[in-house]
Amino acid sequence: MSIDKQHWMDVLPADPYTVTAAGYLHNFHRQVLTMLYQPIIGSQALSLYMTLWGECEQTDLHPNTLTHHSLMLGMKNNLKSIYEQRLILEGIGLLKVYEGFENSTKKLLYELQSPLDPHSFFEDPILNIFLFKTIGKTQYQRTKNFFSRQAFSKDGFREISRSFDSVFQTITVEQLNEIQQSNDLSTSNDTKILQDSQSVKISVKMEEFDYDLFLDGLSDSFVPKRSFTSDVKETILKLAFLYGINPIQMKTIVMRSLNEENKINIETLRLEARDWYQFQHHEALPTIVEKVQPIQHRQMGNEQPTTQEEKLIHCFETISPRQYLKEISGGAEPSEADLKIIEEIMIEQKLLPGVANVLIDYVMIRLDKKLSRNYVIKIASHWARKGVTTVKQAMDLARKEFEETKQSATAAKTRTNNRRNKAIRTEIVPDWLQPNTTEVPKDSVAMNSTNDSSIDEERKRLEKELEMFKNKKKR
């Protein structure tokens, strides 16, 4: 299902919504969001979060239900774009969405989640790597230093802090009974006291990773089942997603992560997974070009492709740009230069993997199997401005651009040929770039043949007259 259908199915401009927060949001969260989250989620997703935060603060003072139309006006953005940014916030754990119905009218509840604290962020194997790959080594280290503080050693010191009871006097029994009988300490059922919320970690379901198969491959005598705590399982799924590790490979990595007590050390597990990936990929870290088209932006979904176009769309949606470059190169590893070009447009222009695949195919066709950085960036910028997010949108736009280019080239060559009398070269293109691939009727073919013959005879007559004119001038 394409995103165009899905966003209209999930939300309409007239749908009301209410904003709340899971806990207390404060100014330090703004620094974390701007410096740590924004490079990953982008400025538009951050803008949506900050807008909802502002509405949440207003709701606390003046309770109000808003509509998505007012959100569109406030952000000067269309609903499709707002919906896409909402999905990004959900995916990274900054927003929870609840759906309810009141008098047959759908109503949404947006619950803002606090961002992870810097320590938890840098400990997260996915967010940590994504930030590093996005902002680079120098800026990454500068950002990490900003959130670091000098650790002071307590060696040679002893704690002399006072306890509560040594400073404060207790109250009498009579005072205690009086307070307990009063309603002043209780809160109403429809209100709650503000508190710091527990930050929500990003959730990775990894349906492609067969966790049961992974467990079956481990002997209980080597790795007790109790070693697989919820934190360990969560880390395994995140590492499998980040590094593309299958259950068999993960078994070896986990075995190397055991400590002397046969328990899994999470930090060692992360390092072992990273070392495994770098060994497999020549010291490189995972990049954005390894990812495939997100589920919510796919047209085919779980449907089986039937037509040739659907099969091609399915291919573009389920293969990473890196793998696609490898496939069209006959199995040869793509060059670092080509990978950097694709990674650049996916980061700077925010092109999704499936859209990048269509762009790769289009440019390779146009430039005889070469990737020109300037040409790629020019097209990527245009597609980004057009808001292309699905493979189908990219293919349709590529067809349109190709047809316009072909018509312009044909017109230019026709003008030139009228002067120079040269034949027009026919460009070979794949079926998916052709605007119409239907079979031409035989009558049309015969008519075209007749027309071609007439044109050929007319050309020969003009050539003969031109030759006679030249000979006449020489005399």
- pTM for the predicted model, two decimal places: 0.54
Task: Give me the percent of the chain exceeding a pLDDT of 70.
Answer: 73
> Residue 277's pLDDT is what?
80
Question: Which band of pLDDT confidence, cut at 50, 70 and 90, is reported for residue 437?
Answer: very low
Domains and their CATH numbers in the chain:
3-116 (1.10.10), 211-286 (no CATH), 295-458 (no CATH)
Question: Which band of pLDDT confidence, cut at 50, 70 and 90, is reported for residue 443?
Answer: very low
The full 3-state SS of the chain, as one line of letters, equals CCHHHHHHHHCCCCCEEEEEECCCCCHHHHHHHHHHHHHHHCHHHHHHHHHHHHHHHHHHHCCCCEEHHHHHHHHCCCHHHHHHHHHHHHHCCCEEEEEEEECCEEEEEEEECCCCCHHHHHHCHHHHHHHHHHHHHHHHHHHHHHCCCCCCCCCCCCCCCCCHHHHCCCCCHHHHHHHHHCCCCCCCCCCCCCCCCCCCCCCCCCCCCCHHHHHHCCCCCCCCHHHCCHHHHHHHHHHHHHHCCCHHHHHHHHHCCECCCCCECHHHHHHHHHHHHHHHCCCCCCCHHHCCCCHHHCCCCCCCCCCHHHHHHHHHHHCCHHHHHHHHCCCCCCCHHHHHHHHHHHHHCCCCHHHHHHHHHHHHHHCCCCCCHHHHHHHHHHHHHCCCCCHHHHHHHHHHHHHHHHHHHHHHHHHHHHHHCCCCCCCCCCHHHCCCCCCCCHHHHHHHHHHHHHHHHHHHHHHHHHHHHHHHHHC
pLDDT tens digits for 142-199? Answer: 999 999 988 888 888 998 998 877 787 766 667 666 666 665 555 555 666 555 656 5
